[in-house]
Amino acid sequence: MTVVALVPAAGQGTRLGLNRPKAFVTLQGRSLLERAVDGLFASGVVDEVVVMVPADMLSAARDLVPRARVVVGGAERTDSVRAGLAAAGDAELVLVHDAARPLTPAPMIGRVVAALRAGAAAVVPVLPVADTIKRVDADGAVEATVDRADLRAVQTPQGFTAAALRAAYDAAPGALATDDAGLVERAGGTVVTVPGDALAMKITTAFDLRVAEILAQEQR
Give contact residues for ligand CTP (rule: CB under 6 A).
8-15, 22-23, 52, 73-77, 80, 98-100, 202, 204
Contacts of 19 (CB under 8 A, 6+ apart): none
Among Mg ion, ligand CTP, none, the one that 98 touches (CB under a kind-dependent 5 to 8 A) is: ligand CTP
Cβ neighbours around 94 below 10 Å, total: 27
Among Mg ion, ligand CTP, none, the one that 22 touches (CB under a kind-dependent 5 to 8 A) is: ligand CTP
Nearest to ligand CTP by Cβ — which residue? Answer: 11
Toward Mg ion, which CB reaches closer, 146 or 176? Answer: 176
Among 4-12, 78-86, 100-108, 193-201, which window interacts with Mg ion (CB under 5 A)?
4-12
Size of the site for Mg ion (CB under 5 A): 1
Toward ligand CTP, which CB reaches closer, 190 or 205? Answer: 205
With binding defined as CB under 5 A, does residue 11 bind Mg ion?
Answer: yes
Q: Distance between CA atoms of 43 and 50, rounded to whole angstroms?
A: 16
Toward Mg ion, which CB reaches closer, 48 or 180? Answer: 180
- Per-residue CA distances from 58 to 13, 21, 23, 53, 150 (Å): 17, 12, 12, 6, 41
